Amino acid sequence: MRFRFTQMPIDALAARQELLDPGAGGFVAFEGWVRDHNEGRAVHRLEYEAFQALALKEGDRIVEEALQRFPVKHALCIHRVGSLDLTQMAVWVGVSAEHRGEAFDACRYIIDEVKHRVPIWKKEHYRDGDSGWVNCERCAAAPRHAHAQAHAHAHEHPHGGERSPELGADHGASHDHDAA
């Protein structure tokens, strides 16, 4: 399985071992970490939840797409669920390839698609005691807000569609949470 969940802290070194290949000359990894602020609010903890039955399928499809689109050797994505503290790793993506260019591209593709397509949700717990589901609360409360339109658009993104990774990256920038 090229996409999986864990309730335990992600072991990046062990994951990296799975991608070793004598034909690979490069390896790229992306780690998403829990940051202490988002959209102007002080965050002290995150909670991740997934609809695992579908998330595993969709995640696996994304990694498979990356392997089809880019000439890379191996790719893997591990996502954390449960409660995470500041600086902990929420997601790990690793790609090994003959050359670095494809490894960067495939890694970028996977994380961008995972953020937009896989049914995973995160709840921010703020320093002031408040909390909220990212991408859900504000648009629901004020659907005419500019953010709501951005979210609505994000949601119309076709599953497995032929969108370029660049577009995904641009789009995700407005409400990215991780420190990337």
Partner 1 sequence: MTPPPAPVHGLVLAGGASSRMQRDKALLQYEGRSQLDRAFDLLGRHVPKVFVSVRASQAAEPTRARRPMIVDSVEGGGPIVGIRSALATDPGAAWLVLACDLPFLSDSVLEQLLAERDPGSFATAYSSAHDGLPEPLCAIWEPAAAAELTAFQRGGGQCPRKFMRSSRIRLLEPRDRRALDNVNTPEEYRDAASALDAPGARAGAGPKRLKVQYFALLREQAGRSEETLDSSAATPADLYLELRTRHGFTLPRELLKVAVNGEFADWTHPLVAGDSVVFIPPVAGG
Which residues bind to partner 1, rule: CB under 8 A? 32, 48-51, 53-54, 57-58, 79, 90-91, 111, 114-123, 133-137, 139-141, 143, 148, 151-152, 154-155, 159, 175-178, 180
* Residue from 36, 33, 58, 56 nearest 45 by CA: 36
Please, what is the minimum distance in Å from the beta carbon of residue 86 to partner 1? 16
| 84 Rama class: left (phi>0) / alpha (psi -120 to 50) / beta | beta
Please, what is the minimum distance in Å from the beta carbon of residue 11 to partner 1? 18
Please, what is the minimum distance in Å from the beta carbon of residue 93 to partner 1? 9
Q: Which is nearer to partner 1, 24 or 150 (CB)?
A: 150
For residues 171 and 164, is the Cβ–Cβ distance under 8 A?
no
Q: Which is nearer to partner 1, 69 or 175 (CB)?
A: 175
CB within 8 A of 164, min separation 6: which ones? none
Please, what is the minimum distance in Å from the beta carbon of residue 7 to partner 1? 15
The CA distances from residue 8 to 33, 63, 89, in Å, are: 14, 22, 10
Q: Which is nearer to partner 1, 104 or 121 (CB)?
A: 121
C-alpha 123/C-alpha 133 separation (Å) is 4
